[in-house]
Structure 1
């Protein structure tokens, strides 16, 4: 995005909206005594956003009011790599001078101000705070800390981030996922170095992401569009990376979605009441749009058709409370129950309703 073709009297407003829409909602005040000029390029590498800003002098403010307007937004941690010009970051009572060739960390979940007193160029990298695996007080402690190339770790980190921002546009999705993981590991190490804490284990980060995916699946079971593709879109990772995350889970993502849907259907079918929903209504409620497919999948998992399951659970209800959890594959037990079920009841069970 660039202000080149924007009328002079609209440039500042356009730029503020572009930055807020691409990064996080902020207030932007130009400081130059001429029509504002700015250029913003932004890319996604998995869950990592990499942006490059080149613009005239300005002040960027992230206020408490702007943060409160989007309470559901995930907390982000940012790294600003100053390419040219200089910046001043104020956050949590600290004021960090950021000369060209250095970087500064900031917490987008809390108010801050970034002053650019002259024409500048900077790389901004943002990722979810949770993936750093650092405690909130550790992130708060390092926010507003400047790191230069004169420091051992800075001498490694700064050239890497600068090169990453320059080539982000050419990275394939699978490569972008791995690079995002590498950046997270490096920043986690930086936070650990600055706070004296132990660096986060990358496996712990992946495990946390797997848990987030599982929670996402459970919250969207009723959406018939739920799929690996929609999951990766929500978490800003590639399908390949998603499948790699689940390699050690003993189940594919698609299979997990179907299992969780079938378990939800089995629980609903086992409930009793005067207005019990039909089998087709239960299937649709949990994301099955094809009744025939649902019936086949249910029988494959539970050994009997949905209507038989409902009838058997109705019979069991007289003997005591139903189990809270539904087994994934109770076929041996169900086959015994079907064999023992009174013959005179078999016709109504299988008959269409």
Structure 2
């Protein structure tokens, strides 16, 4: 599990909840004024996930207004970028030059050096739910002349780097039990790389990205492409390279520093999907060869051999054991 802290309003006396959470927001993000009709018994839940120099904070809370004023900026400015991905509800944001609303299909961008007012709109249960992301501006390759364009950017999460970033943020919001504490800084680097590429596309500065960021984001795009096409038996390093307009040799060089080769990683992903299906009670009547074919193994013998090598038993034995444990 990653290093994280949890704030629950029910752990704090009702009279202190609102002010204590305002203090926490000031430490997590930057000092802000909070206004709410519910301050006498404010309900909020927030996890703060530590990713090294980057932090992610999934939260749910009753209606509240966030204001960052020029006076607060003069007192304290961490010079960071804050992005919010709404999960339930939406955001209405007022800045110096514009006003805009944001729903679950876009990321809102705030710069701690610029005043703003954010009015989250609650979901059906009376709470707004979302994921906040804090990144120091010094980590992002944004030219100084373009920094004023950051507030007000609408970053789509429906495709490309935005979709990859939203998937990662949503996964972290759902839980971090599959990670080790040492994975935090690595995930922080992934977040910075994805956000750097996303901002570069939005600002038209893609050529200014560091070569390492280009490489990391391309690897992430390739991994997402592979996961979407695991069912296709024609998925090979050559077809992957062609889909990304690179040579097969360059594809192999991209994965040279990864833990597995491209082909080995594809095989591991397919086997893991098949293993999951074999253990699924609702799929017990589906023939093993059909599950194998679903995940890109058209030859049953090849699947059985690969499965035995990976998991130490044939797929039929694995299914039988999973069935016994589920009963």
**TM-score normalised per structure 1:** 0.52
Q: Quote the offset at 1:56 in angstroms.
A: 0.3
Q: Quote the offset at 1:166 in angstroms.
A: 3.3
Cα 1:169–1:51 shift into 2, 3 Å: farther
Q: Quote the offset at 1:31 in angstroms.
A: 3.9
- Asked if residue 113 in structure 1 is aligned to residue 117 in structure 2, the reply is yes
Report how many aligned residue pairs link the two structures. 203
Q: Quote the offset at 1:100 in angstroms.
A: 2.6
Cα 1:69–1:142 shift into 2, 3 Å: closer
Map of 1:129-144 to 2, 5 A cutoff?
129-144=137-152
What secondary structure does 2:41 align onto?
coil
Gaps of 5+ in 1: 206-353
Gaps of 5+ in 2: 1-6, 215-327
Aligned match of 1:67: 73
* Aligned residue among 210, 216, 219 for 1:201: 210
Deviations 1:241-279 (A, max 9, x none): xxxxxxxxxxxxxxxxxxxxxxxxxxxxxxxxxxxxxxx
* Aligned residue among 79, 82, 87 for 1:83: 87
Cα 1:148–1:32 shift into 2, 3 Å: farther
* Aligned residue among 86, 91, 94 for 2:98: 94
Structure 2 CA distance, aligned partners of 1:42 and 1:33? Answer: 22
Q: Quote the offset at 1:64 in angstroms.
A: 1.6
Deviations 1:204-228 (A, max 9, x none): 99xxxxxxxxxxxxxxxxxxxxxxx
Map of 1:187-226 to 2, 5 A cutoff?
187-198=195-206, 199-201=208-210, 203=212
- Asked if residue 52 in structure 1 is aligned to residue 66 in structure 2, the reply is no
Deviations 1:279-306 (A, max 9, x none): xxxxxxxxxxxxxxxxxxxxxxxxxxxx
Q: For the Cα contact (< 8 Å) 2:65–2:118, is it kept in 1?
A: yes
Deviations 1:114-137 (A, max 9, x none): 111322111111111011111234
* Aligned residue among 39, 43, 52 for 2:45: 39
What secondary structure does 2:205 align onto?
coil
Structure 2 CA distance, aligned partners of 1:134 and 1:106? Answer: 14
Structure 1 CA distance, aligned partners of 2:106 and 2:160? Answer: 13
Q: For the Cα contact (< 8 Å) 1:80–1:124, is it kept in 2?
A: yes
Q: For the Cα contact (< 8 Å) 2:65–2:119, is it kept in 1?
A: yes
Structure 1 CA distance, aligned partners of 2:202 and 2:67? Answer: 25
Q: For the Cα contact (< 8 Å) 1:49–1:125, is it kept in 2?
A: yes
Q: Quote the offset at 1:89 in angstroms.
A: 2.0
Deviations 1:33-53 (A, max 9, x none): 973211111021111111112
Structure 1 CA distance, aligned partners of 2:51 and 2:175? Answer: 11
Deviations 1:185-219 (A, max 9, x none): 111111111111125216599xxxxxxxxxxxxxx
What secondary structure does 2:166 align onto?
helix
Deviations 1:309-347 (A, max 9, x none): xxxxxxxxxxxxxxxxxxxxxxxxxxxxxxxxxxxxxxx
Structure 1 CA distance, aligned partners of 2:164 and 2:199? Answer: 15
Cα 1:164–1:3 shift into 2, 3 Å: closer
What secondary structure does 1:154 align onto?
helix
Structure 1 CA distance, aligned partners of 2:117 and 2:145? Answer: 20
Map of 1:128-167 to 2, 5 A cutoff?
128-167=136-175
- Asked if residue 20 in structure 1 is aligned to residue 45 in structure 2, the reply is no
When Rg is computed on C-alpha atoms for both structures, the one with the higher figure is: 1
What secondary structure does 2:8 align onto?
coil
**TM-score normalised per structure 2:** 0.56
Q: For the Cα contact (< 8 Å) 1:48–1:127, is it kept in 2?
A: yes
Structure 2 CA distance, aligned partners of 1:74 and 1:6? Answer: 27
